[in-house]
Amino acid sequence: MEGAVLRERIPPGVLRAAEALMARGFQAYLVGGSLRDLLLGRRPHDFDLATDARPEEVQAVFPRSVPVGAAFGSVRVEAEPGLWVDVTTFRRDLDYADGRRPAGVAYGVSIQEDLARRDFTVNALAWHAGTGELVDPFGGARDLERRLIRTVGDPVQRLREDALRLLRAVRFAAQLDFDIDLETWTALEAEAAGIRRLSAERVRDELFKILAVDDVGRALWMMRETGLLFETLPELKGTDRLLQHKRGAPTLLDHLIQTASHCPPDPLLRLAALVHDVGKLVTRAVQPDGRVTFYGHEKAGAEAARRLGARLRLSNSEVERLEWLVGMHMSLTPGRSKKALRRWLAQRGEGWVRDLVALCRADARASGWEGALPHIERIEREIQEIAAKGEALTRADLAVDGRDVMRELGIGPGPRVGRILARLYERVLEDPELNTRAALLDLLRRMAQDQET
């Protein structure tokens, strides 16, 4: 790509930030993923500049700045309203003794030294904001043309320095629709167990980035073939041996990956899809007539999902959502009532219930159950209707309360009041139009006459 064309694609604020550094006598290079994406004609999500200015010097140039990585020499600068740029001092990493992150950094003197510490050649490029020169000491531009992910330097050494690069290689390949260099691929296979050295939080964050890529199926199969999938998600061990005989999905693992591929690019939803049937590993049984059954696999799967969420350090809400989706994935049966839908909407909210619909739709498609799709679509329409009418009620939304019950029936406080309100709530779930004060008081009187209270 011509330098002038590249310059046109860089936001003016980023160029002004680079020019401000150069006006003070410092160097300024656009680096990292933003440059890679620009060279590929993609739209970057963030921008990074590398400079020989020290962090305190960067902050002197940019009063509106925040140090975000003091130990690594990074300062976040507001280049223009709403657009922040990370400005990082040239550096070289010290030893990676633990295989997770460098023990520290030392400031470098050149852009070449800075690029030498980076993970993959396509990320080890720099563009000088003044001259327009592309600095490419490791052949990254050629690898962009060849659509190839290749480590900077020896792949085994580079992956051992930080095991997160194992997952990053897969993510970049899937995200950019690139291949992985053979020597790098061989190192991924040999070093897959290095994932165990990483914190759960770092694995989770990179896994979620992988689960958000468009071609998530390809990413997951690359993880499987390199050995990274079972290292990252040991809950899936054995799914590649469990036969399913579903159309286009001979094993359970095939089915799980296909289900995730059919889901929208929500990482937590796709994680639920990827583990929704793992309960089959512990519930498989052969009946006297030879049928293979998996009774209760959704409950066993929900328990496994809860443990997985806790291990990945998900938030309590995320763990609960993951567990609920897996445990409920068999629940959208053709006879499912609107009452049940109202209850779910009241208890879990529209977002969770729509996630459940998306999971069940993906499961049906991955199973070859096209016949199940019409009733899933019908349920989705009913959810839209219920939400539009505001029919998803909790007990707190009842038009009467415990005081009304006690006054109408002449009783005092106690468990009986709660039981009566629960009956009223069930009736309102069946018929939301009953939720008026007059209608519920009338219903209370009739219940008393019929001795239902």
Q: Look up residue 120 and give its DSSP letter.
A: B
Indicate if the alpha-carbon torsion angle 116, 118, 119, 125 is positive or negative. negative
b/e code 59-69 from CB counts within 10 Å (16+ = b): bebbeebeeee
Task: List the CATH number of the domain containing 27.
Answer: 3.30.460.10
Q: Would you say residue 183 lies in a domain?
A: yes
Residue 453 has pLDDT above 70, yes or no: no
Domain range for 201 is 147-232
pLDDT at 269: 98
Residue 388 has pLDDT above 60, yes or no: yes
**Same-domain status, 399 and 332:** no
Record the pTM. 0.87
Q: Would you say residue 282 lies in a domain?
A: yes
**Same-domain status, 263 and 224:** no
The beta strands (E) that lie in 133-231 are given as 134-135, 148-149, 179-180
Please give the average per-residue pLDDT across 108-118, as a whole number.
91
**Same-domain status, 136 and 153:** no
- Out of 24-28, 232-236, 440-444, least confident range: 440-444
List the one residue out of 124, 86, 93 whose CA is nearest residue 108: 93
Indicate if the alpha-carbon torsion angle 157, 160, 165, 167 is positive or negative. positive
List the one residue out of 265, 267, 271, 170 whose CA is nearest residue 222: 170
Q: Would you say residue 336 lies in a domain?
A: yes
Residue-by-residue DSSP string for 378-395: HHHHHHHHHHHHT----G
pLDDT at 118: 95
Per DSSP, the three-state class of 87 is: strand
Q: Alpha-carbon distance 423 to 350, whole Å?
A: 24
List the one residue out of 207, 238, 198, 210 whose CA is nearest residue 308: 207
Q: Would you say residue 249 lies in a domain?
A: no
pLDDT at 312: 98
Please identify, among 140, 159, 178, the residue that sits at the C-terminal boundary of a domain.
140
Q: Alpha-carbon distance 108 to 263, whole Å?
A: 45
Distances (CA, A) of 236 to 119, 142, 254, 264, 358: 28, 37, 11, 21, 21
Q: Would you say residue 247 lies in a domain?
A: no
Q: Would you say residue 205 lies in a domain?
A: yes
Q: Look up residue 162 and give its DSSP letter.
A: -
Q: What is the mean pLDDT of the chain?
A: 91
pLDDT at 245: 78
Distances (CA, A) of 188 to 163, 226, 435: 10, 6, 61
**Residue 421 phi, psi (nearest 5):** -65, -35
Q: For residue 438, what are its two tokens?
A: 């007059």
pLDDT at 229: 98
Contact 36, 125 (CB under 8 A): yes
Per DSSP, the three-state class of 16 is: helix
**Same-domain status, 105 and 15:** yes
Which residue, chain included where needed, has tokens 């899809």? 273
- Out of 48-57, 220-229, 381-390, least confident range: 381-390
pLDDT at 97: 57
pLDDT tier at 3 (50, 70, 90 boundaries)? low
pLDDT tier at 451 (50, 70, 90 boundaries)? low
- Out of 58-72, 105-119, 190-204, 228-242, least confident range: 58-72
Please identify, among 119, 140, 161, the residue that sits at the C-terminal boundary of a domain.
140
Per DSSP, the three-state class of 11 is: coil
Q: Would you say residue 218 lies in a domain?
A: yes
pLDDT, tens only, 298-347: 999 999 999 999 999 999 999 999 999 999 999 988 777 888 888 888 88
Higher pLDDT, 194 or 349: 194
- Out of 63-77, 274-288, 305-319, 339-353, least confident range: 63-77
List the one residue out of 382, 379, 320 whose CA is nearest residue 352: 320
**Same-domain status, 322 and 270:** yes
Higher pLDDT, 8 or 181: 181
pLDDT, tens only, 207-221: 999 999 999 999 999
Q: Alpha-carbon distance 443 to 294, whole Å?
A: 44
Q: How many Cα atoms occupy the beta-carbon half-sphere of 255 within 13 Å?
A: 23
List the one residue out of 151, 40, 50 whose CA is nearest residue 105: 50
**Same-domain status, 387 and 285:** yes
Residue 107 has pLDDT above 80, yes or no: yes
**Same-domain status, 399 and 381:** no
**Same-domain status, 401 and 416:** yes
Q: Alpha-carbon distance 1 to 144, whole Å?
A: 11
Residue 174 has pLDDT above 90, yes or no: yes
**Same-domain status, 265 and 385:** yes
Please give the average per-residue pLDDT across 109-116, as a whole number.
92
**Same-domain status, 297 and 370:** yes
Please give the average per-residue pLDDT across 362-391, as a whole number.
88
pLDDT at 100: 59
Residue 103 has pLDDT above 70, yes or no: no
Task: List the CATH number of the domain containing 214.
Answer: 1.10.110.30
Distances (CA, A) of 11 to 15, 34, 75: 7, 11, 19
Q: Alpha-carbon distance 194 to 203, whole Å?
A: 11
Residue 96 has pLDDT above 60, yes or no: no
* Burial bucket for residue 8 (CB in 10 Å: 0-12, 13-18, 19+): exposed
**Same-domain status, 131 and 154:** no
Percentage of the chain modeled with pLDDT above 90? 66
Contact 260, 211 (CB under 8 A): yes
Q: Alpha-carbon distance 339 to 259, whole Å?
A: 28
pLDDT, tens only, 337-371: 888 888 888 888 889 999 999 999 999 999 988 88
Beta bridge partners of 91: 107
Please give the average per-residue pLDDT across 38-61, as a whole number.
93
pLDDT, tens only, 128-148: 999 999 999 999 999 999 999
pLDDT at 109: 76
Helix (H) or strand (E) holding 325: helix 316-328
pLDDT tier at 71 (50, 70, 90 boundaries)? low
Please identify, among 118, 140, 162, the residue that sits at the C-terminal boundary of a domain.
140
Phi-psi sector, 94: left (phi>0), alpha (psi -120 to 50), beta: beta
Structural domain count, the chain = 4
**Same-domain status, 320 and 430:** no
pLDDT, tens only, 393-449: 777 878 888 888 888 888 888 888 888 888 888 888 888 878 888 888 888 888 877
Q: Would you say residue 133 lies in a domain?
A: yes
Q: Alpha-carbon distance 172 to 174, whole Å?
A: 5
